[in-house]
Structure 1
Amino acid sequence: MHTHNFYGGTSYDDGHMHLYQGTTTPSPEGPSHTHHIYVRTTTEQMHDHLMDVETGPPIPIQWGHVHYFSGTTSINGAHPHSHRFGNVTNPSK
């Protein structure tokens, strides 16, 4: 079993963006495994957003592998809105 750390920033919408960071759920090694990401963004303008997404399959790199993930956050805020996000995880640990 292994996990990946991840971090990044959302798209800039409704006059602001949010940052995020966390660790994926554990998964066994294998050619087609994925991980789940479930994390809240930073609080900006008195609200945050939930990110709930499954990564793609492993992408081999020189020192292990990473996973691509992307999606849309929950809809929150005084003016209800969402943000887009996309990134790759750090190599497995």
Structure 2
Amino acid sequence: MHDHEIEQMKWMGRNVHVHQYSTQTSVNDGHSHTVQGTTSPVKNTMGHVHNYEGTTTFDDGHVHRFSGTTGPPIYSADGTHYHMLTGTTTFNDGHTHQYTGWTGKNVSG
């Protein structure tokens, strides 16, 4: 399991909430990649989701692109929340990779 810090950004003078994420892909063609980044911000925090996209780490001589939308918030007893992300990378070098992970928790909505 990966641990992630929450991230608050200022945009046009106001706080927006985003989540960091980092997870490994499946092992295909003898290797895996890391999927990591920061989600897009959201305006509405009740039942919200985040978009995300990026490029995997460079492994075995190539990269893959990934993108998607997180699941809805999963709330913890302490009032924080996190999101699940899952998907398949682009087809590069004759194969794809699958990934599943969770964003870091966010304490403000």
TM-score under structure 1 length normalisation? 0.91
The one-letter code of the counterpart of 1:51 is F
2:100 to 86, 89, 92: 86
| Unaligned 5+ runs, structure 2 | 1-15
The one-letter code of the counterpart of 2:92 is N
Give the C-alpha shift of residue 63 in structure 1: 4.4
- The sequence identity of aligned pairs, in percent, is 36
Contact 1:3 1:25 in 2 (8 A): yes
Give the C-alpha shift of residue 31 in structure 1: 2.2
Q: Distance in 2 between matches of 1:83 and 1:29?
A: 32
TM-score under structure 2 length normalisation? 0.78
- Alpha-carbon RMSD across the aligned residues, in angstroms, is 1.3
How many residue pairs are counted as aligned between the two chains? 91
Larger Rg: 2
Q: Distance in 2 between matches of 1:65 and 1:29?
A: 14
| Unaligned 5+ runs, structure 1 | none
Give the C-alpha shift of residue 29 in structure 1: 4.3
Q: Does 1:16 find its partner at 2:31?
A: yes
